[in-house]
Every structure is written in structure tokens, then in C-alpha cells.
């Protein structure tokens, strides 16, 4: 199945993961503002130390801006650390390829049939 | 009990998380609960009877990236190594439940509400309870709740 992306009712939210521990909101903002107006941004801080727990949510007003941000920034470096950027929400459940475990069961079944 | 095998995350390893905090009191059953399912469905329910608020229930699907990040946070916290046997029992003030399935590991913790770090430090298992406390206190919450027309609120501790 193919993944479709839907987001929040009012906005298009992306998740930026792998954010360096001492990054600040302004660093994220500076990196992502070039793709469109950043409607909202939140950097998740680890409460105990105040350092970043490693992800940020960035919201744009339109799909194209968010998509461009994803395509441009995914796998790039932010403050010397590689970040991954993706949609935060999906329209539906994650459609998996058959897991290795399922494939194994099918193989065993087929073998059992062949041997019987 | 353990996860019901309800689907597997891309990559073949199961991930499920449920958190509940609430109490039954003067205003009825007030609670907040959210649940990440292996297929990405995120369910949130918040029932507050104070001022006659109605139940809020929301569902949305999160991306594999979000599930991956949730897993990473759980891994980093090392909560899966902990054990609630010496944690305070739920009481009239309230109850918290945390259930996580990650691959072959499963935890199911039940404890009281935690007011502050003082409660953690004076407990019988301050190290373990501290990990739990910080995990559920994560400020990631605010963000999702704020942006969150779809929700996702990690509960704020009381």
C-alpha cells in the first residue's frame, strides 16, 4: 500500500528527528523558515537537563511548503548532526510490507504441504 | 497482558504504548489516556467533569517517523529495565498506568499520581520512579497538545 499524508486540521506538521542536544528553537526556525512561513515550532526538551530530547515539530500553512521542507532537509546536517524530516501524521494506518516473520510462516506452511 | 499482536511496525518489531492518569473523585472519573498502536494510530481521551466538561476523544495516525522517535525516547529513558513492585500503590488521589511493548519486551506499570520530585525521592525506589516521572512529564506534551489539534498530549503531572 501507499502511504498518504494528512496532517492537522489547520496545518501541515513535520517532525524533525535527530536534533542535536544543544540546539535551540532559533536554530530550527532559521533552518526551516526558508521553505515557508513557520506557523508554529516546538523543540522537545528533555526536562531533566533542559537539553533537547532530539525532535522538533514544525508547522507550515500549506502542503507544498511542508513537502519542500521535507525533501530539502531530510538527511542533511543541522549543527553538525544529521536530521531526518518527515510528515508527523498519516491519513491512515501504516501499510507494512509483509514482515519477515510472516514470510517465514508462509515458507514453513508451503514446505509442510510439499512434504506431506 | 502483552500486546495482542495487532500488527507490526514497519521493520518487523512491534511497538505499543499506553499511558493513563486519572482519579475517581467528587466530580466523577477524570482521566487522560493516550495510546500509540503499532499501525500508527494514536488515540487520545480526556475526561474532565470539572465544570461539566465533556469527554474528548481523538484519533489520528502518526507516521513511522513519529513511532521511531517515540521508541527512541523510550529506549533512551531505560524505562523498560524498571520494575514497579516497590512503587507506591494507586490511591484516592489517583492512578497512573504505563504499558509498553517494544519488540520482545513488555512492561505494565501501575502507580499513584506523583506530585513532585519530593515524592520520587522519598519513595522506596527513587531511581526507577524518577525515570518514570521524567518520562511521563516530558515536555513533548505541550507541543503536541498545542499544535495538536489532533492532540497527543502526554499528560502533565499534577
| Domain contains A1 | no
What's phi and psi for B99, nearest 5 deg? -125, 125
Range of the domain at A45: 12-115
| Domain contains A6 | no
Sequence spans of domains, chain B: 15-38+46-151
Q: Looking at the domain covering B15-38+46-151, what would its CATH class be? A: alpha beta
**Whole-number pLDDT of residue A73:** 97
Contacts of A6 in chain B (CB under 8 A): 61
CATH of the domain at A44: 3.30.70.330
A2 and B CB contact within 8 Å:
no
Per-residue pLDDT, averaged over B67-92, amounts to: 92
Q: What number is the ipTM of this complex?
A: 0.72
pLDDT band, residue A40 (cuts 50/70/90): confident
| Domain contains A75 | yes
* Structural domain total, chain A: 1
Q: How many CB atoms lie within 10 A of CB B93?
A: 13
Q: Do B69 and A40 touch (CB under 8 A)?
A: no
| Domain contains A24 | yes
**Whole-number pLDDT of residue A101:** 37
**Whole-number pLDDT of residue A3:** 28
| Domain contains A3 | no
pLDDT band, residue B99 (cuts 50/70/90): very high
Query: By CA distance, what is A50's nearest residue in B?
Result: B139
B87 has pLDDT over 70: yes
Q: Confirm if B67 and B15 have CB atoms less than 8 A apart.
A: yes
| Domain contains A103 | yes
**What confidence tens digit (pLDDT) does each residue in B32-54 have?**
888 889 999 888 888 876 666 67
B18 and A CB contact within 8 Å:
no
Q: How far apart are CA B88 and CA B123, in angstroms?
A: 7
Say what angle helices B64-77 and B126-136 make with each other, to 10 degrees: 160
Contacts of B3 in chain A (CB under 8 A): none
Q: How far is CA B148 from CA B24, B104, B133, in A?
A: 26, 31, 23
Per-residue pLDDT, averaged over A58-70, amounts to: 92
**Whole-number pLDDT of residue A44:** 78
Q: Concatenate the DSSP letters of all residues of A27-93 into one string.
A: HHHHHHGGGS-EEEEEEEE-TTT-SEEEEEEEEESSHHHHHHHHHHHTT-EETTEE-EEEESEESS-
**What confidence tens digit (pLDDT) does each residue in B111-120 have?**
999 988 999 9
**Whole-number pLDDT of residue B53:** 64
Amino acid at each position: 500500500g501507499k502511504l498518504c499524508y494528512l496532517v492537522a486540521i489547520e496545518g501541515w506538521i513535520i517532525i524533525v528527528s535527530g536534533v542535536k542536544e544543544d540546539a535551540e528553537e532559533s536554530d530550527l526556525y532559521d533552518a526551516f523558515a526558508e521553505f515557508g512561513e513557520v506557523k508554529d515550532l516546538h523543540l522537545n526538551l528533555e526536562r531533566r537537563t533542559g537539553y533537547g530530547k532530539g525532535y522538533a515539530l514544525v508547522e507550515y500553512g500549506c502542503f507544498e511548503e511542508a513537502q519542500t521542507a521535507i525533501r530539502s532537509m531530510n538527511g542533511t546536517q543541522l549543527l553538525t548532526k544529521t536530521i531526518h524530516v518527515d510528515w508527523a501524521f498519516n491519513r491512515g494506518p501504516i501499510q507494512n510490507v509483509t514482515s519477515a516473520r510472516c514470510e517465514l510462516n508462509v515458507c514453513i506452511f508451503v514446505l509442510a504441504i510439499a512434504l506431506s | 497482558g502483552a500486546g495482542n499482536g495487532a500488527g507490526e511496525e514497519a521493520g518487523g518489531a512491534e511497538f505499543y504504548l499506553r499511558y493513563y492518569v486519572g482519579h475517581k473523585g467528587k466530580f466523577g472519573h477524570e482521566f487522560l489516556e493516550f495510546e500509540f498502536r503499532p499501525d500508527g494510530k494514536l488515540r487520545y481521551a480526556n475526561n474532565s467533569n470539572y465544570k461539566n466538561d465533556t469527554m474528548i476523544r481523538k484519533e489520528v495516525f502518526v507516521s513511522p517517523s513519529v513511532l521511531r522517535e517515540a521508541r527512541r525516547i523510550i529506549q533512551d529513558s531505560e524505562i523498560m529495565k524498571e520494575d514497579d513492585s516497590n512503587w507506591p500503590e494507586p490511591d484516592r488521589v489517583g492512578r497512573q498506568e504505563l504499558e509498553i511493548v517494544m519488540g520482545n519486551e513488555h512492561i505494565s506499570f501501575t502507580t499513584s499520581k506523583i506530585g513532585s520530585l519530593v515524592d520520587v525521592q522519598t519513595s522506596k525506589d527513587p531511581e526507577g520512579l524518577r525515570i518514570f516521572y521524567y518520562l511521563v512529564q516530558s515536555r513533548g506534551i505541550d507541543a503536541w497538545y498545542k499544535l495538536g489539534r489532533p492532540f497527543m498530549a502526554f499528560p502533565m503531572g499534577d
